[in-house]
Amino acid sequence: MSRSRSRGVTFVELVVVLAIMGVVIAIALPAFSTLMANQRIRTTAESLRSGIQLARMEALKRGRGTTFNMSALNSSWIVGCEIPVADDNDGDGLPDCPVQIQDSTGVVEGGTSAITITVDAGGGVITFSPLGLVRQLNQDGTVPFTQIDVTVPNVSSTGLRPLRVLLRAGGLSRVCDPSVTVAGDTRACTP
């Protein structure tokens, strides 16, 4: 009568499997870290664009000037009225135009220290008129910004994709990729 023998994993087989797993992880880790950095960039750029659009919509809705303020130059921002009105003329129990309508803090998972934000002017403040147009000057006399560059400085990878948020005088904003230079490509930052 023959008996079937149960066989386990030998030490050599275990070492070979662990070595293969180590090689796969070593190859995949840089790509994963680039993927995560690109996701942080995209999330931050979209949050900033959404905040700008919110400020514009609030100006149109309230018929008053509103500001988008990210003067800390991180991923946090505040949308508020240019000239606050504490009265409640519409009877909803809230001020008609508060200092702070909405804010966003720490939009990037894992903190904002990994993100670098650069604006071209205005120190991170933009003011919209009651018609939703960008004012030529903010209330403090500074020039409003027209673009925000978002990147992760400590990731050295060829796959890193910094993004730019562009703002037009008409008040519309969009996210684009400054590295795309092909004419007619909708991802490009051309006007």
- What is the pLDDT confidence band of residue 30, given thresholds at 50, 70 and 90? confident
Q: Is pLDDT above 90 for 154?
A: no
Q: Is pLDDT above 50 for 187?
A: yes
User: For 124-145, b where at least 16 C-beta lie within 10 A, e where not — what string?
Assistant: bbbbbbeebbbbeebeeebebb
Output 110 or 45, whichever has higher pLDDT.
45
- What is the pLDDT confidence band of residue 118, given thresholds at 50, 70 and 90? confident
Q: Is pLDDT above 80 for 156?
A: no
Q: Could you tell me what percent of the chain has a pLDDT over 90?
A: 25
Query: Using one digit for the tens of pLDDT, what is the confidence trace for 37-81?
Result: 888 889 999 999 999 999 999 999 988 899 999 877 777 889 988
The three-state DSSP-derived secondary structure of the chain is CCCCCCCCCCHHHHHHHHHHHHHHHHHHHHHHHHHHHHHHHHHHHHHHHHHHHHHHHHHHHHCCCEEEECCCCCCCEEEEECCCECCCCCCCCCCCECCCCEEECCCCCCCCCCCEEEECCHHHEEEECCCCCECCCCCCCCCCCCEEEEECCCCCCCCCCCEEEEECCCCCEEEECCCCCCCCCCCCCCC
Output 97 or 128, whichever has higher pLDDT.
128
The chain-wide mean pLDDT, for the chain, equals 82
- Among the listed ranges 82-86, 128-132, 166-170, which one has the minimum average pLDDT value? 82-86
- 74 phi and psi, to 5 degrees? -125, -165
pLDDT at 134: 92
- What is the pLDDT confidence band of residue 191, given thresholds at 50, 70 and 90? low
Q: Is pLDDT above 60 for 109?
A: no
